[in-house]
């Protein structure tokens, strides 16, 4: 049995069933919606939240603070286990910085135990896929320090390619200008974006129409994926399951994918990217 526990946060957008099967501890970020603050989730109330977003209801989010991270880590440390924390991108959230603060505080209290915190520089099921690989490495017997180093080295090969259906959500978050959002909406322009090596959202291309944007995501896999390394890919969606299934069919037919794990874009990320977000995650030569 491994002598350490992997902890991640809900920025990974892993469904509870998968997280439980991997033996993960998942600390939640929080979403503020309809006057209540609730833990981030891809399971509980997610369809209701997307319905509210479509109706124009506002949502805001908050990161994990140092005390919340400290509570999560100490639960594991108190059982005598070491801790490997894999966090949501520091380019998108203060969650990583809070985890570092918590780890520093706990290192004084548990000097005989290891606490490693790694910024995945990933988001949503991109983070989820990297964590999934890390859990498999742990199950195969990789030790904590070696695994932390593996994640640090391979995070730059975790490709995130996504599109959104409504540019206005990215405009509200400051990702695109108001003029770009207005013109894009009028002309049915769909952006193709990715997460870069600094963990930031970057617009890489613009196409006209939803079907073209879905095909563009699959095309990026054809350009970047290494043969034999992507039997399994992850796909997430902002309450647009049919588009996710279409994307899965395309990558299976064109790129030899055997399994496409499809899940929701969680409440925290979805409140910023909006309904209709669609993303593909896989291992590539580079991001």
pLDDT tens by residue, 27-63: 999 999 999 999 999 999 999 999 999 999 999 999 9
pLDDT of residue 166: 77
Checking DSSP bridges between strand 25-27 and strand 4-9, what pairing results, if any?
Answer: parallel
Task: Give the model confidence (pLDDT) of 8-26 as tens digits.
Answer: 999 999 999 999 999 999 9
**What average pLDDT does this structure show over 263-274?**
95
If one looks up domain 4-155 in CATH, what number appears? 3.40.50.10170
CB-hemisphere CA count at 13 Å for 270?
Answer: 34
Q: Is 115 helix (H, G, I), strand (E, B) or coil?
A: strand
Neighbours of 2 (CB within 10 A): 16
Residue 272 has pLDDT above 70, yes or no: yes
Provide the mean pLDDT of the chain: 93
Residue 179 has pLDDT above 60, yes or no: no
| Residue with the two structure tokens 């995945």 | 120
pLDDT of residue 2: 81
The residue that leads in pLDDT, 188 or 261, is 261
Residue 220 has pLDDT above 90, yes or no: yes
If one looks up domain 157-283 in CATH, what number appears? 3.30.1180.10
pLDDT of residue 189: 79
**What average pLDDT does this structure show over 217-240?**
96
Q: What's the CA gap between 184 and 285, in Å, rounded? A: 31
Residue 278 has pLDDT above 60, yes or no: yes
Residue 186 has pLDDT above 80, yes or no: no
| Residue with the two structure tokens 């920025």 | 11
What residue segments make up the domains of the chain, in order of their start? 4-155, 157-283
Q: CB under 8 Å, gap of 24 or more: what pairs does 201-205 form?
A: 201/92, 201/175, 203/175, 203/176
CB proximity list for 21: less than 8 A, separation 6 or greater: none
User: What does the radius of gyration of the chain's CA atoms come to, in whole angstroms?
Assistant: 19
């Amino acid at each position: 049995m491994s002598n350490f526990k992997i902890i991640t946060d809900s920025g990974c957008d892993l469904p509870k069933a998968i997280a439980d099967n991997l033996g993960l501890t998942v600390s939640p970020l929080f979403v503020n919606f309809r006057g209540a603050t609730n833990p981030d989730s891809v399971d509980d109330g997610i369809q209701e939240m997307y319905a509210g977003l479509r109706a124009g209801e506002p949502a805001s989010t908050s990161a994990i603070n140092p005390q919340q991270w400290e509570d999560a880590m100490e639960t594991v440390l108190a059982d005598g286990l070491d801790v490997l924390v894999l966090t949501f991108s520091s380019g998108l959230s203060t969650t990583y910085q809070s985890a570092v603060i918590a780890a520093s505080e706990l290192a004084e209290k548990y000097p005989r135990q290891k606490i490693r915190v790694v910024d995945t520089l990933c988001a949503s099921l991109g983070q989820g896929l990297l964590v999934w690989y890390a859990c498999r490495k742990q199950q195969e017997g990789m030790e904590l320090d070696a695994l932390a180093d593996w994640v640090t080295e391979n995070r730059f090969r975790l490709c995130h390619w996504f599109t959104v259906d409504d540019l206005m959500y990215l405009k509200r978050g400051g990702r695109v200008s108001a003029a770009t959002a207005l013109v894009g909406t009028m002309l049915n322009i769909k952006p193709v974006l990715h997460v870069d090596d600094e963990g930031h959202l970057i617009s890489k291309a613009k196409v006209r129409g939803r079907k073209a944007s879905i095909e563009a995501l699959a095309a990026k896999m054809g350009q970047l994926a290494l043969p034999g390394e992507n039997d399994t890919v992850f796909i997430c969606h902002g309450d647009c399951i049919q588009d996710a299934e279409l994307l899965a069919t395309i990558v299976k037919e064109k790129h030899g994918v055997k399994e496409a794990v499809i899940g929701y874009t969680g409440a925290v990320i979805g409140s910023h990217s909006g309904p209709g977000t669609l993303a593909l995650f896989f291992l590539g030569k580079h991001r």
